[in-house]
Chain A
């Protein structure tokens, strides 16, 4: 379902989802051509979680994210060209080339730190929440992580601290661990986590926890809004598990694009290779959103196509900008590691 928002907000959500999708797809050829190296992780297939969720926040709220951070940064409004430059290790990148994909930050948008260590950010998020509570500035912290993080001891330690101290933190777990077709099937028991459902883990600490379909933008928006309200009212931490179906492009060793995204796929996915077709047909949150927009008469197919064209132009310009940005000078490595 669609979020209960006015048309212009819905179109903005649509634009941001497209932005993430085309940004992420643009990275694959760049990597394969050797324009940047190192591992990278794409947010494709999770856009309907990140975009509506982050839209519920205030401009001064904190966000922590993981190695799968591009979608979150873009959802929050980071400039694609600066994020891309960072991934390419260039001096005009968000971190001046020092962080790379894993560690991209945007403090003015609330992203103080990204960690490449699974669950590395979970204790940190209790810290910003603790600080906000102590400083009484009303800022909330959203901790964005995947299902794997719950296997790390750091996670229950953080849940305990958050619960004990009634910290203003929203733990948003994006469980993309489900393979296979069809949204009707809930994410099965993980082979690396004995607890099932995952919401049992925060519930053990008396943290209210909900399990939702992360492909349903409207449900994400409503659930996150409600959780945010509760936190702002001082009710303490909240936990949401949003389930999505893993993008088939991540099944290969390095990300690969089974089929370039195009608005038309929302109505006709027959051109997609058989292996990936079912995913694009039923599990692609962006395509689901577009279909719902048009069905609800909030936009025409042409409107949507126009948004996509604009986004593609922006991404193309971002790629040009990033490639043209110089590498930092080598001596920069020795600078700026102490304040």
Chain B
């Protein structure tokens, strides 16, 4: 689904992409429940606007790094959902030939370099990509996604410091969904807004409503302009919520049902659709067909994945070293 240049259709396209992520994640959940997918999966349902609002401002040659909850980021960056689903299902046709799985997606062709299962693990990596980009002088930049839990990890701080000192073209996107695994942020730190850390290291920062596609998009647009102009790193904190547990199978008893209900009202897809309708950029029927189209594409992806072969045992020895 290529993004179109025209501004009107661009916005509708963003909604399409959010729906693609939503449909994809819901399908992964169903497949996981049916034991077609094994291991651990962490779904980004409810965080679609942060993924799409930010990645939509990037070019294909810009680098994106993610974490354990990165299916949405990869899709937002333009990953092929067939190959993505196949990877999550451990198939030979997956992006990583079944070797990475849900937490270790790499889709190099669209600039999604890698995700990680280690909290904050890709933040230093994004620094490196930004460093290389700066050397190359072609205006490339790096964007890295992480959650509020990463804010207490040492490498996060080291990376902010270095990015600031060396004015690296890296955009730090913190998806603050209030929970690090099963623990609320308040139990992990006295800091309420991770953007505060960016300020300490003199990195321009903003905190936005992560469920407001347009607010995220605007913040990202500004950040991208600055980074490309060589003004150094930017930090965007998106306040959002994950509608599922930390991982599939997590009963999430630590979360109040009322909290979940509150966030349901702020569903990013519904809000974006509402805005587009109000601006007369889209009709109600169209929204339905967007959902339908997304689900149809995801069905195909699931079919493709499940029909694909598992890797052959000999494959383990391939691609260990270049």
Q: Which residues of A contact B (CB under 8 A)?
A: 151-157, 160, 163-164, 191-196, 200-201, 203-206
Could you tell me the distance between the alpha carbons of A200 and B160 in the complex, rounded to whole angstroms?
Answer: 14
For residue B161, which residues in chain A have a CB less than 8 angstroms away from its CB?
151, 193-195
Interface size of B by CB at 8 A reads 21
Set A155, A200, A206: member contacting B200, Cβ < 8 A: A200
Could you give 10 example pairs across A and B, Cβ below 8 Å?
A152-B158, A153-B153, A153-B154, A153-B155, A156-B157, A157-B157, A191-B165, A203-B200, A204-B191, A206-B191
User: Whose C-beta in chain B lies nearest to the C-beta of A206?
Assistant: B190
- Determine if A153 and B157 form an interchain contact, defined as CB atoms under 8 angstroms apart: yes
- Determine if B154 and A152 form an interchain contact, defined as CB atoms under 8 angstroms apart: yes
Asked if B202 is at the interface of the complex by the 8 Å CB criterion, the answer is: yes
Could you tell me the distance between the alpha carbons of A152 and B157 in the complex, rounded to whole angstroms?
Answer: 8
- Determine if B158 and A151 form an interchain contact, defined as CB atoms under 8 angstroms apart: yes
Asked if B146 is at the interface of the complex by the 8 Å CB criterion, the answer is: no
Asked if B112 is at the interface of the complex by the 8 Å CB criterion, the answer is: no
For residue A154, which residues in chain B have a CB less than 8 angstroms away from its CB?
154
Asked if B189 is at the interface of the complex by the 8 Å CB criterion, the answer is: yes
- Determine if B196 and A153 form an interchain contact, defined as CB atoms under 8 angstroms apart: no
For residue A206, which residues in chain B have a CB less than 8 angstroms away from its CB?
190-191
| Given A200-B200, A205-B189, A205-B191: A194 touches B155 (CB 8 Å cut-off) | no
Asked if B156 is at the interface of the complex by the 8 Å CB criterion, the answer is: yes
- Determine if A196 and B202 form an interchain contact, defined as CB atoms under 8 angstroms apart: yes
User: Whose C-beta in chain A lies nearest to the C-beta of B155?
Assistant: A153
For residue A155, which residues in chain B have a CB less than 8 angstroms away from its CB?
154, 157
| Whole-angstrom distance between the Cβ of A115 and the nearest chain B Cβ | 16
For residue A151, which residues in chain B have a CB less than 8 angstroms away from its CB?
158, 161
Could you tell me the distance between the alpha carbons of A155 and B203 in the complex, rounded to whole angstroms?
Answer: 19
Set B153, B160, B191: member contacting A194, Cβ < 8 A: B160
Q: Mark B193-206, 1 if CB is under 8 A from A, else 0.
A: 00011001111000
Could you tell me the distance between the alpha carbons of A201 and B156 in the complex, rounded to whole angstroms?
Answer: 13
Query: Quick one: which of B196, B200, B203 has the most chain A CB within 10 A?
Result: B200
Known: A153-B153, A160-B189, A160-B190. 15 other contacts (CB 8 A): A153-B156, A153-B158, A157-B152, A163-B189, A164-B188, A193-B161, A194-B161, A194-B164, A194-B201, A196-B202, A201-B200, A203-B200, A204-B197, A204-B200, A205-B189
- Determine if B154 and A195 form an interchain contact, defined as CB atoms under 8 angstroms apart: no
| Whole-angstrom distance between the Cβ of A205 and the nearest chain B Cβ | 6
For residue A193, which residues in chain B have a CB less than 8 angstroms away from its CB?
161, 165
| Whole-angstrom distance between the Cβ of B191 and the nearest chain A Cβ | 7
For residue A163, which residues in chain B have a CB less than 8 angstroms away from its CB?
189-190
Could you tell me the distance between the alpha carbons of A145 and B161 in the complex, rounded to whole angstroms?
Answer: 19
Enumerate the 4 nearest inter-chain pairs by beta-carbon distance, A residue then B residue, closest first: A153-B154, A194-B164, A194-B201, A156-B157
| Whole-angstrom distance between the Cβ of B53 and the nearest chain A Cβ | 27
User: Whose C-beta in chain A lies nearest to the C-beta of B161?
Assistant: A194
| Whole-angstrom distance between the Cβ of B297 and the nearest chain A Cβ | 41
- Determine if A157 and B154 form an interchain contact, defined as CB atoms under 8 angstroms apart: yes
Could you tell me the distance between the alpha carbons of A203 and B199 in the complex, rounded to whole angstroms?
Answer: 12
| Whole-angstrom distance between the Cβ of B181 and the nearest chain A Cβ | 16
| Whole-angstrom distance between the Cβ of B190 and the nearest chain A Cβ | 5
- Determine if A204 and B196 form an interchain contact, defined as CB atoms under 8 angstroms apart: yes
| Whole-angstrom distance between the Cβ of A157 and the nearest chain B Cβ | 5
Query: Quick one: which of A152, A156, A196, A200 has the most chain B CB within 10 A?
Result: A156
User: Whose C-beta in chain B lies nearest to the C-beta of A163?
Assistant: B190
Could you tell me the distance between the alpha carbons of A327 and B190 in the complex, rounded to whole angstroms?
Answer: 51
- Determine if A194 and B202 form an interchain contact, defined as CB atoms under 8 angstroms apart: yes
For residue B158, which residues in chain A have a CB less than 8 angstroms away from its CB?
151-153
Set A153, A156, A192: member contacting B165, Cβ < 8 A: A192
For residue B191, which residues in chain A have a CB less than 8 angstroms away from its CB?
204-206
For residue A205, which residues in chain B have a CB less than 8 angstroms away from its CB?
189-191
For residue A164, which residues in chain B have a CB less than 8 angstroms away from its CB?
188-190
User: Whose C-beta in chain A lies nearest to the C-beta of B167?
Assistant: A194
User: Whose C-beta in chain A lies nearest to the C-beta of B159?
Assistant: A153
Q: Mark B177-215, 1 if CB is under 8 A from A, else 0.
A: 000000000001111000011001111000000000000
